[in-house]
A and B are shown apart, each in its own frame.
Chain A
Amino acid sequence: MRVEVGEAMNARTESRYVKDKKIGEGTYAVVYQGTEISTQRMVAIKKIKMGHFKSGLDMSAIREVKALRELAHPNVIELIDVFSHKTNLNLVLEFLDTDLEMVIKDTDLIFKAADIKSWLLMTLRGLHHCHRNWLLHRDLKPNNLLIARDGQLKLADFGLARDYGEMTATMTSQVVTRWYRAPELLFGAKRYGYGIDIWSVGCIFAELMLRTPYLPGDTDMEQLDTIFRALGTPTEDEWPHLTSLPDYVQFKAYPKTPLRTLFTATTADALDLLEKMLVYNPVKRTSALEAIQHPYFQNLPRPTHPARLPKPAMNINEGSVAAKRRLDPG
């Protein structure tokens, strides 16, 4: 038998793809539209710039590659290949042309209740797959939920993802884009679990119904204030050990207002699920699997088939706007 050393394998991988054109550039990566030569399949090649990081391969590249190498699921972006070229790392990803943020912002599109149910279900399926592999995504938001040409929604951008378990040490609370950040993170929790991703999904669910971000805070402090105004200030009773969180500060005691006041046109089962995702006590918050099994997904209307979901009218060039925006988190 012949064995192939790593360098030769790498060169062979690299030779399987061509970069066609640049479609986006951010501070840490450039994205190209490319082709897998043998199949003529369109791919996205994310070239990670290494120069700015003096300690070699940088952590977000490691995290993304490490996570995606283990995850194969229709609702998680596919990492087709990885190769290095000189000092750059290249990720060959499946080509996806839009994202949920663009869909939400496209005022020409009308969402039916069944459409929202479909996007949410795909999000939860992808997330459940991550969680059952002991992986937290830690940056769920509409523009990290990419949408394929066939309508399938895929979790993407795993640059903050990490594995967790009973035995892992403390983690940083500086994760997740602010509007989608769970209250325990805002209070500086260093030990947390899948609940932080569920909170984000809850915010995305609400945003799909409202067509505007549900809890937009300008600073971390204001974020908490925004959350408490909307959902009532939590008490030690409903959230034990709340006051002993590292960055805990006392807030004005806002009353709990029923979700119904804001979500006037929504069905009771949808609101019940939303409420379970936005429970303050992380331990009591629903899990991805429980959410998937919630009556909301069994009750009518049935989720829209992905292929029939509303999609923004667009061409490749517009798609590049999405790619660019994704690389520069605001």
Chain B
Amino acid sequence: MVALQQNYEQSSQCRHWRFSRAKLHEIRRATNQSGIERARANIAAEKDELHQQQTQPAPDSQDDTAVNYLTLEDELALCHFYETRIETVSKYFKFPNQVKATAVVFMKRFFLYNTVMDYPPKFIMLTCLYLATKTENHFIQIEEFAKPSTLKTTPKDILDYEFIVSQSLKFEFTIHHPYSPLYGFFLDAQAVVDNMALLTQVYNKAMEWCHKSLFTDLVFLYFPSQVALAAMLLAAQDVGWDFDTYLTYKFTEPVPRQELVTILTDIAAILKAYQPITVTTVRDIDRKLIYCRNPEKDPSSLLYQKKLQQAEDAEDQRRLAKVPAKPPSTESESVAEGEGGLVD
């Protein structure tokens, strides 16, 4: 027990991805704020582009003052919605819990430092899920993954974001979930329990609570083992099992036990307060997003095309300088289609 605890403390999850509530909020606030600044500056630049190219003004072009940028709450709601889509897609592919759960955590970590105004959450969601199939040893070929027509995606869409996602994850791919500790507690509790049928019920209920925990902030706030134990506490209340006896058996020292109970109570409160997001709320936010996306990251924008062209020119220059005999490459990358709607 002690050795495992120390192990967890050395994990990247514990070292780099655990925050106080206040810190978590501060990071998100800053991400949202700088996202708005970037979007605002680039929307202005895109307008200049439009003007310079003398193209027809876009029908929905409007004053910057009229643009409603996404609030932090909007962003969180939208992310939350797409987190729950991971479940739908995982069900289709029959991915194990581990893949699904890791993908959700990847997505949460990604949008801790990035904003949906820069990166479309639908594609990021799919990239996170695809990356999770690899990191959780459940690899499938990209063609197979991008195949279902309901996903409205291409292999390129997903792979284009793979490095961007990996960078934001700091290339830390090991994710610890409450599932394994929960299973450990389940085995362990058998030492003090006669009624196996009841304990199994507790375990199954607790699995559901652990599952719910994925869609909350708990992964940033507490140890997976603490979340698992709190899930067990709630499950015990659900099916009428004497949790305290087990807790007393497991944690004999009264003072640390009391501290643990405080933690478990807090986790249980977060779990009970969890509310799934409604599709109507998300539709409104998604509509709002159409006008405040950062054009720099939007493949259908002039700004994006310009930057792409600049990058290609620079690359050609570099190649020319390197190998003067070889003509520069003329083929240009096909630009990915812009994306608007939600996953069906």
Task: Please list the residues of chain A having a beta carbon within 8 angstroms of any beta carbon in chain B.
Answer: 1-7, 9-10, 54-57, 59, 62, 65-66, 69-70, 72, 82-84, 87, 89, 132-133, 162-163, 165-169, 171
Q: Is the CB of A70 within 8 A of B12?
A: yes
> CB of B173 within 8 A of chain A?
yes
Q: Is the CB of A66 within 8 A of B163?
A: no
Contacts of A132 in B (CB 8 A): 3, 7
Q: Is the CB of B7 within 8 A of A56?
A: no
Q: Is the CB of B30 within 8 A of A6?
A: no
Q: Is the CB of A84 within 8 A of B167?
A: yes
Contacts of B55 in A (CB 8 A): none
Q: Is the CB of A1 within 8 A of B27?
A: yes
Q: Is the CB of A69 within 8 A of B163?
A: no
Contacts of A59 in B (CB 8 A): 134, 139
User: In the bound complex, how far is the Cα of B31 from the Cα of A4, in angstroms?
Assistant: 8
> CB of B137 within 8 A of chain A?
yes
Partner of A5, one of B118, B131, B183: B118
Contacts of A169 in B (CB 8 A): 96, 137
Partner of B113, one of A4, A55, A84, A171: A4
> CB of B34 within 8 A of chain A?
yes
User: In the bound complex, how far is the Cα of B182 from the Cα of A165, in angstroms?
Assistant: 14
Please give the distance in Å from B130's CB to the nearest CB on chain A.
8
User: In the bound complex, how far is the Cα of B158 from the Cα of A167, in angstroms?
Assistant: 29
> CB of B142 within 8 A of chain A?
yes
Contacts of A72 in B (CB 8 A): 10
Contacts of B134 in A (CB 8 A): 57, 59, 62
Give 4 new A-B contacts, CB below 8 A, not counting A84-B163, A162-B137: A56-B159, A56-B162, A66-B173, A70-B11
Partner of B114, one of A6, A62, A162, A168: A6
Inter-chain contact total with CB atoms closer than 8 Å: 90
Give the interface residue-count category, chain B: 35 or more
A selection of 7 A-B contacts at a CB cut-off of 8 Å is A2-B30, A6-B168, A54-B141, A57-B163, A59-B134, A69-B174, A70-B174
Q: Is the CB of A1 within 8 A of B30?
A: yes
B115's nearest neighbour on chain A, judged by CB, is A5
Task: Please list the residues of chain B having a beta carbon within 8 angstroms of any beta carbon in chain A.
Answer: 3, 7, 10-12, 26-27, 30-31, 34, 96, 110, 113-114, 118, 130-131, 134-135, 137, 139, 141-142, 155, 158-159, 162-174, 179-180, 183
A79's nearest neighbour on chain B, judged by CB, is B171
User: In the bound complex, how far is the Cα of B10 from the Cα of A284, in angstroms?
Assistant: 30
User: In the bound complex, how far is the Cα of B26 from the Cα of A171, in angstroms?
Assistant: 42
A83's nearest neighbour on chain B, judged by CB, is B167
A-B pairs, top 8 by smallest CB distance, nearest first, are A6-B168, A6-B167, A66-B173, A82-B171, A55-B142, A10-B167, A56-B159, A84-B163
Contacts of B3 in A (CB 8 A): 132
Please give the distance in Å from A170's CB to the nearest CB on chain B.
10
Contacts of A55 in B (CB 8 A): 139, 141-142, 155, 159
A71's nearest neighbour on chain B, judged by CB, is B10
Contacts of B164 in A (CB 8 A): 6-7
Q: Is the CB of A5 within 8 A of B113?
A: yes
User: In the bound complex, how far is the Cα of B113 from the Cα of A7, in angstroms?
Assistant: 11
User: In the bound complex, how far is the Cα of B181 from the Cα of A167, in angstroms?
Assistant: 11
